[in-house]
Structure 1
Amino acid sequence: MDTEALSILVNQIERGTNAARAIQEVMASGEYSPTVWVDGLGYVLDSLNADTKALRRFTDLSRKGAG
């Protein structure tokens, strides 16, 4: 993975984190039932999980290359 791909991955993780924070704020506001946001939160968490796994693969490859 080159630095451009890594930068894109970091950007995706930042966007996912921001989306999770936004959903949490809306859920906490009480304007709508939190159940309205469960699907969106699940999507964000699945995306963050995939991005984290990709980042882990990158760091594992980097370690192997450095050794």
Structure 2
Amino acid sequence: MSKTERGYYRFTVKETGRGTFFLAAEPAGDTLQGLYGLLGIQLEENVSLEEAMRMADLLNNRMTALTLTK
């Protein structure tokens, strides 16, 4: 039988060593016990910092939690 966990995260914008951006899910409450390390969303190389920040804001304003089902 599957078990689903729920964790609360906030998205921030991080820059790679190559100068591109990604969204990082940082803990903002209870976390997913089955998730180890940093969860990130890689963006296309041509995404600007402003666009990445708007994406993070949208997720933070509209998303309530991340879930993990095993």
What TM-score, normalized to structure 1?
0.30
Name the one with the larger helix percent.
1
What TM-score, normalized to structure 2?
0.29
Name the one with the larger strand percent.
2
